[in-house]
Every structure is written in structure tokens, then in C-alpha cells.
A and B are shown apart, each in its own frame.
Chain A
């Protein structure tokens, strides 16, 4: 079954332990300056935002049917059965379509490097594979970030909404957004206030392009036959006209001879 993370913003105390654990896991520098950065980047895969005493974590949502994986021409991004969406650096040619296509604006680029890579949270794919929770979930002192089976975490999130009426925005973010994500979120503050896109479709985004792309295998032979047919007709007409012209010319000639 696929794994997921449940982040409950009401339990978060903004200690940024998850940020630090993430940096260590991904061998990225972490210090005061980095801790102060309030934006995901090529060296900061997760960020804890705050508004007064309210907090919110941003990270890769690891979509169930990810746009980034669908648009990548070389298949460098891909959704694993276990849940994480991973990136194979050796395939990537740097077209950056994944960055443009991601509805959450997650993939980041190493702009300062001559030969850059795309960078993003990959939900600790190697740890998850080994049966361990993600580094951020393990580091979280309050249980705000919880690792587990997606189905069970959905049940738990809905239970929390049910048990605490009025405490939360009545919505599990990530349950249906763009076909569902492997990161589920609960919050008392509307998600849009922390920059989450509102009004995402319930359908996976890749459907939008696949509806068009899937017609190509039919279009190619059909187009070929159609164009070939037009060519045959237009040139046949010419041949017939030429033959007729010749015939009438011969008739004329015969008439002339008879006279």
C-alpha cells in the first residue's frame, strides 16, 4: 500500500526540526540564514511558514498522479508504488517543464550551477523503501507531521475533523486535489493564505494533456490516408484532363484528315 504524510498545522509549534532533519537527510547546508528563508529552493526542500501563532509546512505534495512525471519528456520524474515521487538526475536534460507544470510550484532548479539539477523533496524514498518513516516525520517532536499508510491517515484526518468541529477548516487538503496527493494537510487557517492554490480540479492534471495526446495514434494513419487520397484525386484529375485533351486533339486531327 502507498505511504503518506499527514501534517496537522494545529499541532505544529514552528520549531523547524523538520527543516533541519530534511537538510541533513539530503546533505544540504542548514544554518541560521537557511532557517530564516521562507521559500522552498534548491537547498531547502521543506519550509515552515508562520503567521502570528499559526504555522504551515510547505513541501512536495508527492501527487498520486503527478504532473511533473507526466510532462517529463525523458521520464526523469516518477511516482513510486510506495508513494514518493522521485527524480533521476542522470536522465534530466533541463527543459524545466516539470517546474512549469507543477500546480504547487515545487520543483526548483540549481540556477547558480553551470550544469544544474532539478531539486525537490522526494519523500525520503530510500527510507520509505527500507520501511522507515521520512526524516521530517521522525524529527517532529509534536506529531504534527505523521507518517503512515495513506488510507489510514485519511481516516485519521477525517476523524480529527469530526471530533473537533470548528477547530479546523473543514477540508483535508490533498485528499482530492489534482486527484489526491501523498501529503495530507489539516489547518485552522485557510490554505490559500499560505499560498496553496485554491480551486484545484479533482481530476489528475495529466488527464488534460493525455486526452489530446491519446488521439495521435489514430490521427497519423488517418491523416496519411486523407492526404494521400487528396493527392491521388488532384493528380488523377490532371491525368484525366491530359488524356481527354489528347483524345480530342486526335479526333480533331482525324476530322481534318477526312476533310
Chain B
């Protein structure tokens, strides 16, 4: 096939090249010279974004497999495959990011044999490892179908329900545990974000973001792979998203009032820097999308759903970065700004996620129209030819 260089492919290649160079710097010179991390600020962008946000953004996998396979909501089935693909790629990339962040990445297997069950990090490590395997198995039928391997396909299909259940349990555990990580630092994390409810908030927001990412992804795929939008499905997801956000919002506000944070905020007791980022998070993640989704007209329109989903995703990315970076700065006594190498690696990881998604869609039966099974309800347009790397946001009409 002829390779056609488009604008977004060029961006992708530039990002990957920068990341490749940053990788050399990171492993040749060590963490000290390749990052702005220090004794005062040992966790930066790679933990805050690549790991905390990465795991959160991949939460659609367990949310949707549970809805379809456990709760038997067959209507949602057409979007399970792209969602599982995203989740699988997401977790693989989280593991890649960890290899950059660990001081001695070649010992990443140590938690397998040197166990400390009192450590939240140990639990997260185990869950992420097991869940990545579960996702690989959940994803495997797509590859097996492509190569028509009937026997392993049969075995996987039989094991699907236990696998999905295991996946949901593992996800519940580690999505919440990423919040539990911070429970041991009551004196370090800013009161805006330190609460005994951190695990609950991390779990609920993972579900919200999982739903939002699914809406976002379906909208993007519709635009870039020349597919019809599964609007009724997205509308249903939008309704569930509204409920999850409302539950999260009520708990969050109640927690802030209960701990006296809101009262203090109105009394002007906090620094402006933290206050601004805290309010930004609440507006992006809660106020704006709740206001949008509350209107049926917005909730039923593709544009309204898309906007709400993007806001939720951005809002909770802000939340994770606030917990891991903003909230830790005042106790560390410094402002952390990532070095170019850190940004380049993170950029490269995001870029390779988009590239792999594009490639998978091109070569594997991800969307329902490509399935060898008889076609479903709605007729699908043929999948476009040259798609690699065109799945980048804000790429208006092609």
C-alpha cells in the first residue's frame, strides 16, 4: 500500500521521534538529568499523568464489558470491541510508562516474588498485571477471528464470563487503590484533595471517565473512519454518565462540607494557586457536564454528548493531576514543572496509543461491520482505507 503523508501523520512522527530521543536521554543519563524530579518531589508527570490518568482513561473496558456481559445490555454490544481495544492499549502503555519512571525498571517483576501485602502499591502492581492479562484475553478473540483460529476461539468464548467478572473485580480494586495510595499522606496532600473517601472518588470517577471516553471514542471513530454514529447507544451512555456524575458530585460536595473545606474556602483561607486549580477541576468535571447533560436536548444530540464527554475527561485529568502534583506542591515547598524529556515521553506514549488504535482498526475486525458474523441492526459504511494516525482529536472533517 502506498504511504500518504498527512498532517496528523507528520505530527505523530514528530512526537514519536522526540520521544525516542528523550528515551535515550532517560536511560543513558538517569532520572536526575532527564526529569525535574527531586527529593522534595519524587513523583511527577509520569506517575500523575501516564499512570494515574492512563489507568483512569482505560476504565471504559471494565465498565462496558460488565454492562454487556454481566448486566446483559446487548444494545451496547457494538461498541464493546473498540472499548476493550482502548483499555488494552491503555494498560500496555501504563506499563511502558512505568518502565520510564522506575529507577530500576529491570526489577519491575520483583513484586511477583517479593510480596508486601500491606503495600497499596503491591496491590496495584498485582491488579494491573493481572488485569492487563485479562484484557489481552478479552481482546484475543478479535485477533483469533482475523486469523480464523477456531479452537482457541471456542475456549476463550467459554471462559469469557469468568474473565469479565475477574476483570471487573480487579478494576474495582486497583482503580480505587490508586486513590488509596494517597491515604497514607494526611500531612502532605492538600485538604482540597485529601479525604478518607479518596478510594471511593477514584473508583466512581473511573466509571464516569470510562463512559465519557467511550462516547468520545465513538464520536471520533465515526468522524475519522467514515462510520455511522451509534447515537442511541451514546444517548444511553450519556444518561448513565449523568447519574454517575450526580452521585459523585453529591458525595464530593458532602465530603468537602463535612471536612469544613468549603467553609474555609469561602473564608479565603487557601492559597490562590491551589484554589484556582481546585475550582477548575470542579467546573470541568462536575458543574459544566452536569449542566449540559441535565438538558434532554443536549443529552440526545451528538454534539452535546461529545462536548460533555470531553469536559468530563479533561475535568478528571485535572483531578488526577491535582491529587498527584498540585496538591503535593505546598508540602514540598516548590512548584513542579516537567522537563522537556518528561513531556516528550508522555507525548510519545499518547501518540503511540493513537497510532496503535489506528492500525488495529485497519487490520482487525474491531467495528461491527467488519465482523464475520451477520450484520447487526444498522447498516455500516465501509471502513476507510488510509486511516493510520488519523484518530487525533480536533481533526475537523476529512
Contacts A109-B42, A114-B30 given; indicate if A71 touches B120 (C-beta within 8 A). yes
Whether A201 lies near B186 (C-beta < 8 A) is yes
Interface flag for B122 (CB, 8 Å): yes
Interface flag for B250 (CB, 8 Å): no
Residues on the B chain within 8 Å of A148, using CB? none
Whether A95 lies near B102 (C-beta < 8 A) is yes
Write the nearest CB–CB distance from A201 to chain B, whole angstroms.
7
Interface flag for B183 (CB, 8 Å): yes
Interface flag for A227 (CB, 8 Å): yes
Interface flag for A14 (CB, 8 Å): no
Whether A95 lies near B121 (C-beta < 8 A) is yes
Write the nearest CB–CB distance from B107 to chain A, whole angstroms.
4
Return the contact of A96 from the options B70, B103, B169, B180 (Cβ within 8 A): B103
B-contacting 9-mer, from A4-12, A26-34, A125-133, A206-214: A206-214
Q: Roughly how many angstroms separate A208 CA and B71 CA in the complex, as a whole number?
A: 34
Residues on the B chain within 8 Å of A105, using CB? 39-40
Whether A100 lies near B43 (C-beta < 8 A) is yes
Return the contact of A208 from the options B28, B70, B168, B183 (Cβ within 8 A): B183
Cβ-closest chain B residue relative to A216: B173
Q: Which residues B320-342 have CB closer than 8 A to chain A? A: 328
Return the contact of B183 from the options A74, A114, A209, A224 (Cβ within 8 A): A209
A-contacting 9-mer, from B16-24, B110-118, B131-139, B278-286: B110-118
Write the nearest CB–CB distance from B119 to chain A, whole angstroms.
5
Q: Roughly how many angstroms separate A208 CA and B69 CA in the complex, as a whole number?
A: 35
Q: How many residues on B have C-beta within 8 angstroms of the other chain's C-beta atoms?
A: 58
Whether B186 lies near A74 (C-beta < 8 A) is no
Whether B169 lies near A230 (C-beta < 8 A) is no
Interface flag for B96 (CB, 8 Å): no
Whether A114 lies near B29 (C-beta < 8 A) is yes
Contacts A116-B103, A223-B172, A231-B70 given; indicate if A71 touches B30 (C-beta within 8 A). no
Whether B186 lies near A208 (C-beta < 8 A) is yes
Whether A227 lies near B169 (C-beta < 8 A) is yes
Q: Which residues A29-84 have CB closer than 8 A to chain B? A: 40-42, 67, 70-76
Interface flag for B165 (CB, 8 Å): yes
Sort A-B residue pairs by CB-CB distance and give the 8 closest, nearest first: A94-B103, A111-B32, A234-B72, A93-B107, A73-B122, A73-B121, A74-B114, A96-B42
- A→B interface (CB under 8 Å): 40-42, 67, 70-76, 91-97, 99-101, 103, 105, 108-116, 197, 199-201, 205-206, 208-210, 212-213, 216, 219-220, 223-224, 227-228, 230-231, 234-235, 237-238
- B→A interface (CB under 8 Å): 27-33, 37-40, 42-43, 66, 69-72, 101-105, 107-108, 110-111, 114-123, 125, 161, 165-166, 168-169, 172-173, 176-177, 180-181, 183-188, 196, 199, 328
